[in-house]
Amino acid sequence: MIMARIHKAALSALLVAGLAACGNDDSGNQTNPLLIAAKAAGGTAAKIRGGKAEAPAEAPRTPEQMAAEALRVNQGPLVMVGFESLGRTQVMAMTGQNGSLRTYMAPSKEALILRDGMVVGTRGLGHDLSVAEPQTEPLIRAGRAGSAPRVMRYFSGDGLERPLNFTCSVAPGPKAGVVVESCEGHGASFQNNYAPQGGHLPVSRQWLGPQLGYVTLQTLRP
């Protein structure tokens, strides 16, 4: 069962790479963090200090290795998250649920709040997204074209929420099965990419905000 999920995660990683290639990163960084992790998994040569050879540094794990370990030790829902602006990928486990909202947390206490794959909040990342109110969500889940507003609320230094309002359109993407949400407002623009399946969002690339940038998401265990 675990091997089947790992194989599925590997296939999802390829789809995530495709979603990242479809999107427009405002920072100009088109790098896929899943590929970064995979390329960084190569061995590190031993270093010589004081005439003694040190043991090789432990190579970073590939996304597949991280998925395998997470699926082995945790029986609950899991997601793999790639932070493009940070150039790293990590697995988050569900730590709480309130109705349709689930909180997924990493060992570092960084957390995402998801509604069946749609990011609606972040915690512990800095410049956190307090709550997202995407009225485009029904269109995205149904894979239908249309337009609707999106409100993104952020915590400010004084502890208050500051809303950013965007006008968004939803349309089929350049790749089959991909839905693109294009948004503009406050002099900024971004694209979210989703691969909806039966109303669910198991794989996506979503914009968290001006400072946090994009994340790629894939469900390891629903």
Could you report the per-residue pLDDT of 160-187, keeping only the tens digit for each?
899 999 999 999 999 999 999 999 999 9
Report the percentage of the chain scoring pLDDT > 90.
Answer: 61
- CB-CB contact of 62 with 69 (8 Å): no
Q: 192: closest CA among 174, 175, 170?
A: 170
Residue 194 burial by CB count (10 A; 0-12/13-18/19+): exposed, middle or buried? Answer: buried
> Facing residues of 150 across strands?
134, 166
Tokens standing for residue 129:
């997204």
Asked whether the CA dihedral 90, 75, 8, 143 is positive or negative, the reply is: negative
Which helix (H) or strand (E) segment holds residue 161: the answer is: strand 161-172
Task: Look at residue 95 and tell me whether its pLDDT is greater than 90.
Answer: yes
Q: What is the rounded distance in angstroms from the CA atom of residue 62 to the CA atom of residue 93?
A: 18
If pLDDT is split at 50, 70 and 90, which confidence band does 56 have?
low
- Sequence-separated (6 or more) residues with CB below 8 Å from residue 94: 76, 77, 78, 102, 103, 104
Domains and CATH numbers, the chain: 63-221 (2.40.360.10)
Q: 128: closest CA among 136, 119, 137, 115?
A: 119
Could you report the per-residue pLDDT of 8-53, keeping only the tens digit for each?
544 454 455 557 656 544 433 333 333 333 333 333 223 323 445 5
Q: 205: closest CA among 18, 1, 20?
A: 20
The single residue listed with the structure tokens 């800095």 is: 126
Q: What is the rounded distance in angstroms from the CA atom of residue 53 to the CA atom of residue 49?
A: 7
Q: What is the rounded distance in angstroms from the CA atom of residue 74 to the CA atom of residue 185?
A: 40
Q: What is the rounded distance in angstroms from the CA atom of residue 212 to the CA atom of residue 6?
A: 28
What integer is the mean pLDDT of 145-167?
Answer: 93
Question: Hey, how many other C-beta atoms are within 10 angstroms of the C-beta on 90?
Answer: 19
